[in-house]
Amino acid sequence: MDPFLLLPVALGGVSVWLGLVQRRQRVRAWQDAAAGCGLQVVGSPGWSQLSARAGPVSVKIETCGDKGKYTRIIAWAPGPPDFHSVSIHREPLVRFSREIEVGDQAFDSTFFIEGPARLVLALLDAKMRRLLLRVNAESRLAISNGTLRAEHMADRKVVHVLPLLVETGQRFAQPLDVMRCLAESAHHDPETGVRLQILLLLIRELPGNSWTLEALHTACSDPSPEIRLLAAKNLGAEGRGVLLDLAESLVDDAVSAKAVSALDRELPLERTRAILTGALRRRHIQTAHVCLEALGRSDGAADIELLAKVMALEQGELAAAAALALGATGSPAAEPSLIPALQREQADLRISAADALGRVGSAAAVLPLKEAAESFWLDLDLRRAAHQAIAEIQSRLQGASPGQLSLAGSDAGQLSLAQDEAGQLSLATDPAGQLSLFAGEAGLEPDGGGAP
């Protein structure tokens, strides 16, 4: 027989023999990895799988993928009640259900998590999260129905992944006091986001519970201003001191602003002024904004003066907020500083000043409002605000005693007094906007030049 005809048969035999050798070497490597983890092989290993056990954790190692190219490890462990409802797998491209965020950015961006929120947050402490991330870095990790799977890994990675997966299973199998674990993580977890998520969970699901109250008191000394704020707000009167510290510290603009808002009228005005000054110096816009709103609840001369100063010196939203705060004071003393603001270049400030004059303006503000609407005739919002402010001023003045200033019905913004009373002030109908005084019983005599 031609030896060349026997060559394919020989090569085929060699290939089969090499395959058997590789499988034997693979199983031997699995056995060595299992022994290194303290696992005992259960039964006789096959050519493509191996089963082992260590205490409550059972493990199966098997081939997977095209032609058994990859290895898969499956582990089972008796977890806590409802553990079968916990699902953790790689973040999908499309989400069809709502997931749980544990507050660890690296972990949340890697895994899609479902299950009872209390149990999930209790299980996924800092050490467990690190373990799962390490397993996932070497394989494709998935946990569901009480089963842990590490799939699609090369043989050489089994020795690294298997001990991590066994340790994970052993931790899941340990007795779990959910509330104690939550309280521990709320205090000691290295991730601020995790501590925050646990505190939010306790407040939402267990308000008034002793564990929740203990966690809130502990959180008042948390390194994170945001967590201290959340704890103080939910402790009522007990948290007022922490809120005051947060408001005055100005370490975090958003936190200080929320602390000022939470304190509301319990924050003394003198402290509000001091916080506003510090916020303006540090350019903490949110805190300055809420301080301006708080000062708007005062009609004191010092507060009106401070608001007017801020409106005059600031630009952008703070100037507009100061104008609105001046209107909120309800004090006529705010009017003189608001009228010039109608001619400022800042559009939202002009509108805010018009709105404010609608609340505190007198007859003296009507003509400046009309002029502002005419000067910035392309600003439709300002025109509407000015007309509304004039109407509000008119509504306050109508029905008063004779001599009261009102809006003439013929021309918007025109001023007139009742015609049967001496000392009346009116706008002449021919020269637009002309003011004239008429002599009469009020004792005003013409000076020979007609209207002054």
The SS3 assignment for 112 reads: strand
**Do the domain assignments include residue 107?**
yes
Which range scores top for mean pLDDT: 9-18, 57-66, 393-402? Answer: 57-66
Residue 16 has pLDDT above 70, yes or no: no
The pLDDT value recorded for residue 24 is: 78
Query: What does the pLDDT read at residue 97?
Result: 59
Does residue 353 lie within any of the structural domains?
A: no
Would you state the pLDDT for residue 145?
A: 92
Share of the chain above pLDDT 70, in %: 81
20 has a pLDDT exceeding 60 = no
- Average pLDDT across the chain, whole number: 84
Dist CA 172 CA 128 (whole Å): 9
Flag whether pLDDT at 452 surpasses 70.
Answer: no
The neighbouring-strand residues paired with 57 are 54
- The helix (H) or strand (E) run that includes residue 449 is none
pLDDT at 307 > cutoff 90: yes
Of residues 45 and 254, the one with the higher pLDDT is 254
**pLDDT score of 67 more than 70:** no
Residue keyed to tokens 């270049």: 345
Residue 109 within any structural domain of the chain: yes
What is the structure's pLDDT at 328? 97
The number of C-alpha atoms within 13 Å of 271 and in the hemisphere containing its C-beta is 17
Contacts of 425 (CB under 8 A, 6+ apart): 405, 415, 416, 417, 435, 436, 437
pLDDT range class, residue 435, cuts 50, 70, 90: very low
Q: For residue range 176-205, what is the model confidence (pLDDT) as tens digits? A: 999 999 999 999 999 999 999 999 999 999
Q: Helices 210-219 and 225-234, interaxial angle, to 10°?
A: 140
The CA distance from 118 to 121, in Å, is 5
pLDDT band, residue 28 (cuts 50/70/90)? confident
User: Distance between CA atoms of 340 and 337, rounded to whole angstroms?
Assistant: 6
Mean pLDDT of 73-96: 85
pLDDT above 80 (res 425): no
At 424, the pLDDT band (50, 70, 90 cuts) reads very low
Domain containing 64: what range?
A: 10-176
Least confident window among 19-28, 120-129, 148-157, 331-340: 19-28
* Residue 419 confidence (pLDDT): 39
Res 153: pLDDT: 87
Note the pLDDT tens digit of each residue in 375-420: 999 999 999 999 999 999 999 886 544 334 444 443 444 444 443 4
How far apart CA 115 and CA 178 sit, in angstroms, is 14
DSSP secondary structure, 182-230, as one string? HHHHHHH-S-HHHHHHHHHHHHHH-TT-HHHHHHHHHHTT-S-HHHHHH
What's the pLDDT band for 104 if we cut at 50, 70, 90?
very high
Establish if 35 belongs to a structural domain.
yes
Instruction: Report d(CA 183, CA 206) in Å as an integer.
Output: 12
Please report whether residue 227 resides in a domain. Answer: no
Reply yes or no on whether the pLDDT at 441 is more than 80: no
pLDDT of 1 above 60: no
What separation in angstroms does the CA of 275 have from each of 249, 264, 287, 321, 425? 9, 13, 8, 16, 45
pLDDT at residue 341 greater than cutoff 70: yes
Residues 6+ apart with CB under 8 A from 140: 90, 150, 151, 152, 153
pLDDT at 290 over 80: yes
In a domain, 449, yes or no: no
pTM value is: 0.77
* Radius of gyration, alpha carbons of the chain: 38
Q: What is the pLDDT of residue 91?
A: 78
Q: What is the mean pLDDT of residues 257-270?
A: 95
Give Cα 140 to chain centroid, integer Å.
32
- What CA–CA distance (Å, rounded) separates 366 from 360? 12
CB 151 within 8 A of CB 134: no
Q: Does 57 fall in a domain?
A: yes
Report how many domains make up the chain.
1
Confidence of residue 66 (pLDDT cuts 50, 70, 90): confident
413, burial (CB in 10 Å: exposed 0-12, middle 13-18, buried 19+): buried
Judge whether 2 lies within some domain. Answer: no
- Mean pLDDT within 419-437: 39
